[in-house]
Structure 1
Amino acid sequence: MLALLSALWAWATPPSASPDEPAHIVRAASVVRGELFGEPSKDGHIVAVPRYVGDAHRLTCSAFHPELSAACPLPAAGSPDDTVLAPTTAGLYNPLYYALVGWPTLIAHDASGIVGMRLVSALLSSLFAALAFAVVWTMRSRRVPLLAFAVAVTPMLLFLSGSVNPNAVEATATLAVFCGMLAIVLSPDPARLRGRAAIVAVAAVLAVNARGLSPLWVLVALAVPLLLADRSTLRALFRRPAVLLTAGLIGAGTLAAVAWTLATNSLANAIAHPEEAQAFPLVGAPPLTGFSNVLFDTVEYAHGLIGLFGWLDTPAPGIVLYGWGLAVGAIAVGALLVLRGRRLAAAIALIAAFVLLPPLVQAAYIHGGGMIWQGRYALPLFLCLVIGVAALLADQPFADGAAWRRLRVLVLIGAAGGQLWAFAAALRRYAVGSAGSLHTFLFGDAAWAPVGGVLPVLLATTAVIVVAALLLLRATDREADALVIDPAVAPAVRPAAADRAARRAIPG
């Protein structure tokens, strides 16, 4: 379902209509052709790519102008497969993601190669989200965190999944790392340890190499679940070969990511070579300015986690933003009110990371590079916060009985309605402009329309959202069976039938 929803977003999003997508398209096409850097210039690194890839820069006529439709002028004449020179501002970024998604351009000889890259990116991000879901499914108390996926998977995550951009893959891979670690600590099971460790290792290696800041998010995903374990549990875990191998693989992947970032100076290239980078506001401002600007605008930046489409110029409808914010706030406040001990400490750590790490990053960057922060950059932290806090709340009294039945129906109806409303609003913006006629959008001759027309896309999306909601409703209907616990790994954990106080001896 996630892959289908992401593919529908890819279908409904015009070429080059997501943030910085032309730069990522050019980067991916150049990496799979063996060109890792290109020549630096004031417009980015110049690389050789097929003409249809280079023309992605020409299809941004409506960027930052939500009142305009996506009906852009046609690219320049010439064979779409001719080799041309094109700039990319992503020319120093870690090549792993781009190598994974760029290969369709080696097969296709026209704009279908870009569609192929979008679909591959959608599959990658959906794969890791599915792995995270599957790991949570194996946990003893699973209903609450499974339902929380309806809140964590925002329209913005699906929008980014359906574009050529490492942001969504970074976020879902980090979530897979986090869920794997949570399952290992909260629901230890020797029969599943190797599989969980393999998911953590593969997801972590990809995640740390997705973007420059990715190692920081993965560190949070690895460290916070360990707050739930006592010393004896940690000693037992780190005697397991699977855990040691996983730690070694993650360490090697992280070293490779950090080495690339330091060797290319990709995070600070704009500071070292301002003539080769876009200028951002407030260059030269003190760190406190960057910290306070992002901290005090946390709610505003959160729009970029829920729904800020186009080139971050088209917010989701206000009621969608409000409803999602209410759900996330209820999860966070509920955790602070009812959790105790290690679980409370882990919840506070997740909330603090989400609130404080973005301001700290901006504080470190502002003097030399200006204000660069965007809300979508914190998607990995957001996913870990929502799923993690929900998992910590999973054994509370509300997760059973009539109250639970009402809660999950309310959440799923709200999430499904919000997804469809946000999708329709974004599609309308592309088709007729954000203030364009609703009648023309649905029934008239829209200036731009996806292949097949507006109505078929809306109907297909509605059907997939409804099916996804029904499947999640069914998945959250029954509690997981009690798992067999290996006393060598978790000596204090008893089966689900044991009293809750004893069960919390390990997780907090």
Structure 2
Amino acid sequence: MPHPRRVFLLAFAAFFLMSASWALALPVNGTYDEKHHVVRAYAVVTGHWLPDGPASDGTTFGSEGFDVPASLLPGNVNCAVGEKNRGPADCQTPTGSRETVRVPSAAARYSPVYYLPVGLPLLVSPDGTGVVLARLVSALVSALLLAAAVATAVRLRSRLLVAGVALVATPMAMNLNGSVNPNGIEIAAGVLLFVALSALLRGVVTRRLLVLTGIAAALLLTVRQLGPVLLAVDVAACALLAGRGRVVELWRSRSARAILGGFGLVGVVVVVAWMAGSGGADTGAIPERGIGGDLAGRILSDRVPFYLRQVVGQFGYGEVTISPAAIGLWYLLLAAVVVPALVRSGWRLRLVVAGLLAFCAALLVALDWHFAPLSGWFAHGRYALPTAVGVVLLTALYRRGDGPRWLALALVVATVPVHLYALARAITRFSGGLDASLNPFAGPWQPAGGAAVPLLVAVVGLSALVGVSLVTERGRIVDPGTVSGELDNGSVTPVERSAKTGTRASTTETTSH
């Protein structure tokens, strides 16, 4: 296999450029709740960690707000999002005024962890330019996490796991990475956690991997409210698949206890301190604006299909959809990884996959069931992605062999047209209106520099992603469970010892689970 460092740099370029293409393509507030997160980011970097007072824009979310420059968001910022607003984004009216105005934010009491780095460009340029730069900071952090996951997959010498990381980096994930929204980094942290923690539990124990696992866990804990629950489920899934012996062996390492425990402790302290100091996250739910009637029937008929579509690509505020054929193709690519692994696996992998899917479904349904009567539909499929990605990543890792040498490359190549189509469709929506035929180059609104700029950036990024798969395609496939690793000061792990002697360590489990 190629050197992980070179793969890391190439993967970083790929994921950063793919996310950056979305950052450059959309108007302010062109994706879910971005206006709320922009206001929150500016407030955090200017020292306003708690709301300045009550505020409302007439919607069902956001009852508190911050005093920010009028230039931070364009006038009529909502005019081109939502099913009812079908026109192009030229309806927005940017202003250069730095007059202070009170603006509501549904994220008014969210943890400041994500917003501190992302908000820095807004401190210098509190306007549309600053929003784009803030998006690029978010894209950079997410790309670092995803590239680290790819490099770890290379250390495990699994081409299919490399492809798995590319498959869970759906157009929706790239859209979120390239926006001001903590959900993108949360998803990327979930990807890294599954890959890095699995590597540790497979016997590849290095300080680098311990730190990466700790960073991923700390981010999951702190960037969004659901993070602690998602983290617990992700860790439980990895531990159950690895088996008790490998979990115990990892915990015997002083370095593992110190590094993982240290990051975990910091994350818990931040969460507890923020909850105590902020009074918890306020959803801003407004009574008597909820949904009644047959909730169970509507969730089954309307919401579940929405969850599934959004995982791949449903943009804007849910009104920008891509072809069902494109979404179906993506799920077929996922099935090419998951189904053969489940057919050939033991009960343990099947149990974990079923548990992850059941948890994700239950989480989304429970959120809608609770909030729909209060303020309307609440859950999004993207909320479950930090855990749902484990279905693909764990089956890719625990599958017996990587399949044909061409499979991983073919899976990655097949994602390219879907990524480009999704980006072009989103640009078309904002340039020509919701009902416009696919043509990102027409319409009264265009991204800065024209639609060709983000599309070209996406092409370069996707080319780099294919390049990652090309340079790993030549690698020799081995059972990841026999890869040697370093524990503490380089002492030999039971896995390494068994690999040298040709016997299986007593603390390991077969890869067919």
TM class, shorter-chain normalised? 0.7 to 0.9
Q: Does 1:281 align with 2:269?
A: no
Could you tell me whether the CA contact under 8 Å between 2:484 and 2:493 is conserved in 1? no
1:300 corresponds in structure 2 to 306
2:102 corresponds in structure 1 to 85
* C-alpha distance in 1 between matches for 2:178 and 2:242: 37
Q: Does 1:392 align with 2:398?
A: yes
How many Å apart are 1:61 and its aligned residue? 0.9
Unpaired segments ≥5 residues, structure 2:
1-13, 58-62
1:102 corresponds in structure 2 to 119
1:490 corresponds in structure 2 to 494
Give TM-score, length-normalised by structure 2. 0.85
* C-alpha distance in 1 between matches for 2:127 and 2:54: 27
Q: Summarize the Cα distance change of 1:29–1:3 in structure 2 as closer, same or farther, 3 Å threshold.
A: same
1:46 corresponds in structure 2 to 65
How many Å apart are 1:110 and its aligned residue? 3.9
Could you tell me whether the CA contact under 8 Å between 2:159 and 2:469 is conserved in 1? no
Q: Does 1:419 align with 2:423?
A: no
Q: Does 1:469 align with 2:466?
A: yes
Q: Does 1:132 align with 2:145?
A: no
1:381 corresponds in structure 2 to 387
How many Å apart are 1:198 and its aligned residue? 0.8
The one-letter code matched in structure 2 to 1:225 is C
Q: Which moved more, 1:27-36 or 1:368-377?
A: 368-377
How many Å apart are 1:104 and its aligned residue? 1.1
Offset from partner CA, 1:456-487 (integer Å, 9 cap, x none): 43234223323321332322331367632579
Q: Summarize the Cα distance change of 1:492–1:358 in structure 2 as closer, same or farther, 3 Å threshold.
A: farther
Q: Which moved more, 1:428-437 or 1:87-96?
A: 428-437
* C-alpha distance in 2 between matches for 1:427 and 1:500: 54
* C-alpha distance in 1 between matches for 2:503 and 2:169: 33
Could you tell me whether the CA contact under 8 Å between 1:485 and 1:494 is conserved in 2? no
1:218 corresponds in structure 2 to 231
Unpaired segments ≥5 residues, structure 1:
none
The one-letter code matched in structure 2 to 1:331 is V
How many Å apart are 1:124 and its aligned residue? 1.3
* C-alpha distance in 2 between matches for 1:467 and 1:342: 35
1:256 corresponds in structure 2 to 270
Offset from partner CA, 1:401-434 (integer Å, 9 cap, x none): xx331x2343223201111111111111111124
Q: Percent of pairs identical after alignment?
A: 26
The one-letter code matched in structure 1 to 2:383 is Y
2:358 corresponds in structure 1 to 352
Could you tell me whether the CA contact under 8 Å between 2:150 and 2:162 is conserved in 1? yes
* C-alpha distance in 2 between matches for 1:417 and 1:105: 34
Q: How does 1:182-331 map to 2 (within 5 A)?
A: 182-186=198-202, 188-190=203-205, 192=206, 194-245=207-258, 246-261=260-275, 264=278, 266-267=280-281, 269-270=283-284, 274=286, 279-282=289-292, 289=295, 293=299, 297-331=303-337
How many Å apart are 1:329 and its aligned residue? 3.4
Offset from partner CA, 1:72-105 (integer Å, 9 cap, x none): 24235xx433333222121111111111211112
How many Å apart are 1:175 and its aligned residue? 1.7
* C-alpha distance in 2 between matches for 1:414 and 1:130: 20
Q: Secondary structure at the match of 2:53?
A: coil
Give TM-score, length-normalised by structure 1. 0.86
Superposed CA RMSD in Å reads: 3.1
How many Å apart are 1:346 and its aligned residue? 3.0
Could you tell me whether the CA contact under 8 Å between 1:362 and 1:371 is conserved in 2? yes
* C-alpha distance in 1 between matches for 2:41 and 2:395: 36
1:22 corresponds in structure 2 to 35
Q: Summarize the Cα distance change of 1:113–1:460 in structure 2 as closer, same or farther, 3 Å threshold.
A: closer
* C-alpha distance in 2 between matches for 1:291 and 1:262: 38
Q: Which moved more, 1:100-109 or 1:122-131?
A: 100-109
Q: Which moved more, 1:259-268 or 1:451-460?
A: 259-268
Q: Summarize the Cα distance change of 1:498–1:422 in structure 2 as closer, same or farther, 3 Å threshold.
A: farther
2:81 corresponds in structure 1 to 63
* C-alpha distance in 2 between matches for 1:195 and 1:248: 14
Q: Which moved more, 1:294-303 or 1:409-418?
A: 294-303
2:338 corresponds in structure 1 to 332
1:144 corresponds in structure 2 to 160
2:5 corresponds in structure 1 to none
Could you tell me whether the CA contact under 8 Å between 1:155 and 1:307 is conserved in 2? yes
Q: Summarize the Cα distance change of 1:236–1:209 in structure 2 as closer, same or farther, 3 Å threshold.
A: same
Could you tell me whether the CA contact under 8 Å between 1:485 and 1:493 is conserved in 2? no
Residue 115 of structure 1: which of 107, 132, 145 is its match? 132
What is the number of residues matched between the two proteins?
484
* C-alpha distance in 1 between matches for 2:242 and 2:301: 31
Q: Which moved more, 1:118-127 or 1:359-368?
A: 359-368
Could you tell me whether the CA contact under 8 Å between 2:311 and 2:385 is conserved in 1? yes
The one-letter code matched in structure 1 to 2:82 is F
* C-alpha distance in 2 between matches for 1:426 and 1:325: 20
* C-alpha distance in 2 between matches for 1:14 and 1:461: 17
1:404 corresponds in structure 2 to 405
Offset from partner CA, 1:119-156 (integer Å, 9 cap, x none): 1111111111112222222114x111111123111111
